[in-house]
Amino acid sequence: MTKTIVLTYGSGGHQEQIRRLVSLLAEAVDEEIQFVAITDSTNQLVTQERIVEYIKFKELRDKQSNIKTLIFLLPTLLMQTWRIFKVYRQYNVVGVISTGPGVSFLPTLILHCLGVKTVGFESWSRFSAPSFSGRFFSKFVSLFYVQNEAMKKHYKSAIYKGRL
């Protein structure tokens, strides 16, 4: 069965970081590998023919309304958890790569708990203060990368490899 890496990312810069990373991986890896994307973005990574499935997740919280967050939190959590387990059963998931933000928390955490290797990235736009998602991911992912050397002081076990 073909190895699958789950990509979790938000729209905008998070998506651009994943696009660049997937291009680098596709060139560097000799073996057959495919990707499943879990995102809140409506734009697909059209240049990536190795992405076999796009799954649209909505943010767990409504940034404009705490009431809507409370009302929809449990149904959203249940539906997204079901979708994550479905991906885990359907594909040979060997890794998760996340560039954040909040849409990435649940898939990365659940798959990590299932024994899948997880990789997190602090945003390339961070130079002096850690992001919420960076602080969250750095606590449990298998590997955590920062893209600006100044961020190493905030994350003791982070790896600096430069910007994507």
What is the pLDDT at residue 46?
Answer: 55
Q: Please name which of 54, 47, 44, 48 lies closest in space to residue 33, comparing C-alpha atoms.
A: 48
The percent of residues in the chain predicted with pLDDT above 90, rounded, is: 37
Q: Using one digit for the tens of pLDDT, what is the confidence trace for 113-122?
A: 999 999 988 8
Q: Which carries the bigger pLDDT value, residue 130 or residue 139?
A: 139
Range name among 34-38, 49-53, 70-74 with the lowest pLDDT average: 49-53
What is the pLDDT at residue 131?
Answer: 75
Cα separation, 134 vs 146, in Å, equals 9
DSSP string spanning 59-116?
Answer: -SS-TT-HHHHHHHHHHHHHHHHHHHHHHHHHSEEEEEEEEESGGGHHHHHHHHHTT-
Assign 38 a pLDDT band (cuts: 50, 70, 90). Answer: very high
Q: Please name which of 34, 74, 35, 81 lies closest in space to residue 57, comparing C-alpha atoms.
A: 81
Q: What is the DSSP letter of 126?
A: -
CA 157, 147, 19, 133 torsion: positive or negative?
positive
Range name among 23-37, 79-93, 126-140 with the lowest pLDDT average: 126-140
Amino acid present at 59: E
Q: Using one digit for the tens of pLDDT, what is the confidence trace for 1-16?
A: 899 999 999 888 888 8
